[in-house]
Amino acid sequence: MTEAHDAVEVIATKRDGGALSDSQVDWVVDAYTRGVVADEQMSALAMAILLNGMGRDEISRWTAAMIASGERMDFSGLSRPTADKHSTGGVGDKITLPLAPLVAACGVAVPQLSGRGLGHTGGTLDKLESIPGWRAALGNDEMMRQLEDVGAVICAAGSGLAPADKKLYALRDVTGTVEAIPLIASSIMSKKIAEGTGALVLDVKVGSGAFMKDLANARELAETMVALGTDAGVRTVALLTDMDTPLGLTAGNALEVRESVEVLAGGGPADVVELTLALAREMLTAAGHGDVDPADRLADGSAMDAWRRMIAAQDGDPDAALPTARETHVVTAPATGTLTRLDAMAVGLAAWRLGAGRATQGETVQAAAGVEMHAKPGDAVRAGEPLLTLHTDTPERFGRALAALEGGVDVADTAYEATPVVIDRVG
């Protein structure tokens, strides 16, 4: 076939600060997916986008081209509205686990297509796979039945959704272009829009343990993604949330499942409960169910009932004992006073090095590995008393995990001023 454009022309347009035409965008995404545009050419274009940016129309067209590279799901046949949540990733971010059944218990279906962890941020599927029997892979028909019967599904995205993104994501990872906001936004939103949900709430993390370290960049990403969702006809809102400190008191797969179940039982750490309820309220409002208070569904046990049905529907045993690590190591407080800092990145790296995360795609993870926190910033601590417990099946990992935690803890006599969990709302 005769190609409508050539790669060098498209690269040069963006290299020189120009805006790509709709035709150029459609062609280059399709041609890259087909293998006509080579990896080195798409690498050059990705770097030009990183350096020169994209306008709203360009990003919107790029996202549409990514969606067009694969299939689109359709939930219009369900008896209830749909809403989904996406987090940009953090440490101890187990919010999807209690959130999906909670929103389902309020009458809104949650089709949550999730991923696996890479590096210091945990993956939702890895967490759930620590439950004996639970499986991540569902066919589309199976997913639709579960959404109708249970109201919530958390599963792996099929290969048919935005295949252009899968190919480009891997390329960005090895070419120093991961940070390009137009490419981050279109990567996330192409999959979420293709997924077919009616409403979408974005949890954009900000801080040391987040992908976005500063508020200005996080806000730009949130605004870009909200605009993309709006342009595609999906009701979209974003919350900017704190990730200087880990969420909750656990980082690691089975440890986080255990904590999520505590939240569903009406307990759990205050920050996890607060963020779960904040996101649930946004999802319910966007789906037209804003008159339902999700706190009531935590209190009356219906969210827990939805969790048990959701896990069982994917062959998991909600009553089975979760794996526990063969070895533990206690880290004690270095001084007496107020814990003023517990660095999210340090804790995330430690959990990763203990075996909770992976360095390369496809690597296996330890279900029981991770970090348990006995105090959070603002709490009083005493020198020599337990501050963290490290969990792993392979004790030779303790040394590198302890090295990751060096400099990540501050104890002082000064008063502690807490950062709010929800910093701002965009949308």
- Catalogue the active-site residues: 86, 165, 172, 187, 191
DSSP state, 174? T
Residue 70 to residues 8, 140, 196: CA-CA distances in angstroms? 25, 14, 13
Q: Which two tokens stand for residue 160?
A: 């048919």
Distance of CA 50 to the CA centre of its chain: 22
Q: Which two tokens stand for residue 159?
A: 């290969």
Angle, helices 163-173/22-34, rounded to nearest 10 degrees:
80
In 141-234, the DSSP E strands lie at 152-156, 199-206
Q: Among 242, 247, 315, 239, which Cα is nearest to 281's?
A: 239
Residue 380 to residues 88, 346, 385, 406: CA-CA distances in angstroms? 31, 20, 11, 20
Strand partners for 204: 240
277: left (phi over 0), alpha (psi -120 to 50) or beta: alpha
Q: Is 338 exposed, middle or buried (0-12, 13-18, 19+ CB in 10 A)?
A: middle
Rounded CA-CA distance 316/308 in Å is 9
Q: Among 295, 283, 289, which Cα is nearest to 427's?
A: 283
**Cβ distance 316 to 310 under 8 Å?**
no
